[in-house]
A = this chain, B = another copy of it.
Amino acid sequence: MGKPVNSLRSPRFCGIRTFQRLPHETDVSGNDFAVMGVPFDTGTSYRAGCRFGPAAIREVSAILKPYNHVLDVDVFEHLEGVDAGDMDIIPGYVDESFAVIERETARLCSQGATPVLLGGDHSVTLPELRGLTRTHGPVALLHFDAHSDTGNDFFGKPHNHGTTFYWAMEEGLVLPNQSSQIGIRGPLYSRDAWAYARSKGMQILDGWQVHALGTAETIRRARERVRPGTPVFVSFDIDFLDAACAPGTGTPEVGGFTTHDALALVQGICPGLNLVGMDMVEVLPEADHGAVTSLAAANIIFAFLSCLAHNRRGRK
């Protein structure tokens, strides 16, 4: 069971890099959450290299502190957590890696810890959901992204980071009627690009809408669909952020959102929901600078953990 190192005693640039300076434990039993890396980038269609995403997020996460003043919650008053290291995926082999990811995600859940997973490209969410739903059943999805990732075929093959949610819906892993895709934008392959998701009942709050609606209304629309108690999974593709705010990603999109928007949305939507896991995907350190993308990712994860702590507090 773990708490972070105290950065008022040990400087933040000291020590083996784990997420937020948590203990590194592979057995996660007894913890409320477990951070684990999924350094798989075989599914990328443009820039590769987000296999180094988990390391980059860990490196800069040392800058985090425990108290969230917006939610007025000290995360580690309410939660124990550890960094469980990385999953040993198999670069270049999709199916074999998916099996590892599914198995490991299921293990974390079965040991009672909420998985907080660091991608890797967005294809990893499919096997994560396969593993997670073994314990929790189908989930409501809160999907922050510039891309809907609901294609069904790239280059004649089924799996890459652009088809994740097509298969997730096909396999019944998500509950589209309680789910939202937020921030989707940019040029599309065709007028029909979002038709499948919408036909399944998914709510798409595209980027132009979110800019127009504002944060508060977007929060309302996302929250109102989720029925009380439904297990909720947050999948955050860092390219939800504007390319200028998160240059370190594989398929950046302009016209996006600031980190303040992202924190406001996560901290606005998640309180009170039955959060069963999250992932943070598509952080590509080689294209980053000054670690701003990794830093954004670390803070958004911290926002999720704050909501988890907030909800835990509420339950007591």
Give, as a whole number of angstroms, the nearest-CB distance from A146 to chain B: 11
Chain A interface size, as a band, is 35 or more
Contact of A37 with B8 in the complex, beta carbons under 8 Å: no
Bound-state Cα–Cα, A310 to B290, Å:
36
Contact with B along A48-83 (1 / 0, CB 8 A): 110110010011001111111110101000000001
How many copies of this kind of chain does the complex include? 6
Would you call A49 and B286 a contact (CB within 8 A)? yes
Q: In chain A between 13 and 67, which residues have their CB closer than 8 angstroms to a CB of chain B? A: 13-18, 24, 37, 39, 41-49, 51-52, 55, 58-59, 62-67
Looking at the assembled complex, report how far the CB atom of A81 sits from the nearest CB atom of chain B, in whole angstroms.
15
Q: Report the separation of the CA atoms of residues A299 and B252 in the bound assembly, to the nearest whole angstrom.
A: 11
Query: Are B43 and A92 interface neighbours, CB within 8 A?
Result: yes
B contact residues around A90 at 8 Å (CB): 11, 155-157
Given contacts A49-B286, A259-B243, A286-B49, contact A188 B65 (CB under 8 A): yes
14 additional contacts, CB 8 Å, given A12-B45, A13-B47?
Answer: A8-B155, A11-B46, A12-B46, A15-B37, A16-B58, A46-B63, A55-B59, A69-B191, A92-B94, A96-B156, A242-B258, A254-B295, A286-B286, A287-B289
